Structure 1
């Protein structure tokens, strides 16, 4: 068997060590590539954050624009409602002196004269006359059964209060058993109302 000098063995071991060590360390080119990759990753993250920020600003601007558009529309609606509420919408009650009861010409008329003419036309008697013309409120009519010409009219923005006041006023003067309340056959109610808040108005 051939024997190697111990010096060759030592030299071989050292060479193997240095070769192995050199394989485990990155080269300058590899280090440069790694650094460039890290820089690219950082730039990509910055760009992503900037894109998200810009998108967030755009979303906020869009939301603000939608909110402004909605508010403008709501303001226009409220302004229109206020115009309807401030506009007088007339309704007239007529009576016939020859018989008990009242005649309602309907509400929602913007012209008082036309409103009264409608009530007289519905009454349709030469003895008819206007009892009461209202606007943007309600009226209720009561009378004593034994004296139907002694008509009582109560007005109130609340239709139930108008009915209550008409009944109480009649009862106070003529007694509860003797009083009658007029029925509005158009609405099947004891109140006669005209105005936007009661749905008796005309759009314009």
Structure 2
């Protein structure tokens, strides 16, 4: 494994205050939250948001809104269908098909937090996802990383049993062999989940969360 499976650390963190402003739709039976830019939309590009185990949680919706505020139409499917998850749901690529065929998106960036990271890596293939980003990944394999066909950026926490120092260094070796552009930023003093569920009353955690988001935006702006 390039990162360990989800564990108890994936279910901890802080709920963020704020009112999401996006729209909830049903796509092929899946509840989907969509953030639409108010102006200066990136032409023919969009972000696929693959969430942590909390799914359509307020924190995730607020992050979707922030990607939209930066010009990216952003789509967050409920990967867990209200709590039930199957391998077929994850591997089907329904949301990618919807984005390309219904929304007319030509280039797709994908973000994956915790659980969602593995599927960003798996779909980082020609014709599916063009550029990927994930934070504090779980469940990724070296085979997935070795097979990427596009640029990948990762935000890592210093304190993370799922993406430990050893696994992070092993991932660097694997990524270096792909021939693709890659980046790993390490944030000191924060734990697994910081990019989504940080304690915003702690300036260090707040800063790290904001910088991880900026990392994703900068990566997408450059590669798209």
- Higher helix content, 1 or 2: 1
Find the structure with the greater CA-based Rg.
1
- Higher strand content, 1 or 2: 2
Q: Which has the higher contact order (CA 8 A, sep 6+)?
A: 2
